[in-house]
Structure 1
Amino acid sequence: MQANISSALKWLHLNLDRAGAWVAPLSLRVFLAWEFLEAGLEKWNGENWFQSIQAAFPFPFNYVPATLNWQLSMWAELLCSIALLVGLGTRLSALILIAVTVVATAAVHWPADWSTLSELAQGYSISNKGYGNYKLPLIYLVALLPLLFTGAGKLSLDALIERCVKRR
């Protein structure tokens, strides 16, 4: 009985590992592509509001014209989200989206005034109560890290290109 349970657990572990090599990075890529594509399309169809927050951008973006910042952000979100979705240039796309997210967090989502960790912790929310709202950008940053460090996974154009290059 104990041997059956042990072998069943080994089988489960092995198959979860195999599936995880495909499913885990793909699910992260789809989740992040959806989010960043939506943000890019919102900028594409919307009006530039970066001028009102230009001073809040971290260096060197606070010296870049607001229109250029808007374009850089929009195109990064649009192109990198599509690249993530198909798994092409995944590590570079993740790095670019990390930079976009850090700038957005510093400019828009981080609490403007806080003096204690308790006040800072109030910004870890999805609200607009004056304490910031950096919870979602932090989730995106954490979700981008595995793609940056381990790549797109087996179900990606990156993996297909790698397999084709190794065959030569």
Structure 2
Amino acid sequence: MKKLINVYQSANNIDVALLIARVGIATLMLTHGWPKLEMLLSDAPVQFPALFGLSATGALLLAVFAEVVCSLLILVGLGTRLAAIPLIITMLVAVFLVHGADPFAKQEPGLLYLLPYTVLLLTGSGKYSLDYLLLQKVLRSTYVRTLSIQ
């Protein structure tokens, strides 16, 4: 019972939670991005809102980049903080521009996606990620180089 009400979390628990959040949110977003990628690659005319002076195809290309490429990066934990930025921007555009005049029920999914992306921007990917593995490799090589200089 004490574990359930303990407010202090171990680093391992936080890393597991970040892994679950990353894999979950990336997988869910891919279900939105994949149809957009198929639309982009098809010969059919693009049915997508033109935003910020971009053509419909240009806006769709940016959405596909965020929802597919950045989601895949978040999924594996590579450049997680940087990959979260286009997704945050995409969700803000979806909520406030595309669905700005719609009822809250249409805005809610974008807001729900926005929350974990903001958390990942602030926290990073955690221990169970490619970011962590690459950082460890860089730190090891720097340490070895430092020892060989002395």
TM-score (norm 1): 0.71
Amino acid across the alignment from 2:17: A
The yes-or-no answer on 1:19 pairing with 2:12 is: yes
Structure 2 Cα separation of the partners of residues 146 and 152 of structure 1: 10
The yes-or-no answer on 1:66 pairing with 2:56 is: yes
The Cα of 1:22 is off from its aligned counterpart by: 1.9
Structure 1 residues 31-90: Cα deviation after superposition (integer angstroms, max 9, x where no partner): 22112211111112235212xx33xx3xxx2x1111111112112211111100100000
Query: Secondary structure of 1:134's match?
Result: helix
The Cα of 1:110 is off from its aligned counterpart by: 2.2
Identity %: 36
The Cα of 1:13 is off from its aligned counterpart by: 4.7
Structure 2 unmatched ranges of 5 or more: 143-150
Q: 2:24 aligns with which of 31, 53, 59?
A: 31
Structure 2 Cα separation of the partners of residues 161 and 13 of structure 1: 32
The residue number in structure 2 matching 1:84 is 74
Structure 1 Cα separation of the partners of residues 64 and 137 of structure 2: 32
- The structure that has the greater radius of gyration is 1
Q: Please provide the CA RMSD for this pair.
A: 2.4
Structure 1 unmatched ranges of 5 or more: 1-7, 113-122, 126-132
Amino acid across the alignment from 1:28: A
The residue number in structure 2 matching 1:124 is 104
Structure 1 Cα separation of the partners of residues 25 and 16 of structure 2: 14
Structure 1 Cα separation of the partners of residues 110 and 10 of structure 2: 29
Q: 2:130 aligns with which of 157, 160, 167?
A: 157
Q: Would you say how many aligned residue pairs link Structure 1 and Structure 2?
A: 136
* Cα pair distance change 1:14/1:166, threshold 3 Å: farther
* Cα pair distance change 1:143/1:160, threshold 3 Å: same
Structure 1 residues 76-134: Cα deviation after superposition (integer angstroms, max 9, x where no partner): 2111111001000000110110011111222322225xxxxxxxxxx332xxxxxxx11
Structure 2 Cα separation of the partners of residues 32 and 99 of structure 1: 16
The residue number in structure 1 matching 2:145 is none
The residue number in structure 2 matching 1:142 is 115
The Cα of 1:16 is off from its aligned counterpart by: 4.6
* Cα pair distance change 1:14/1:103, threshold 3 Å: closer
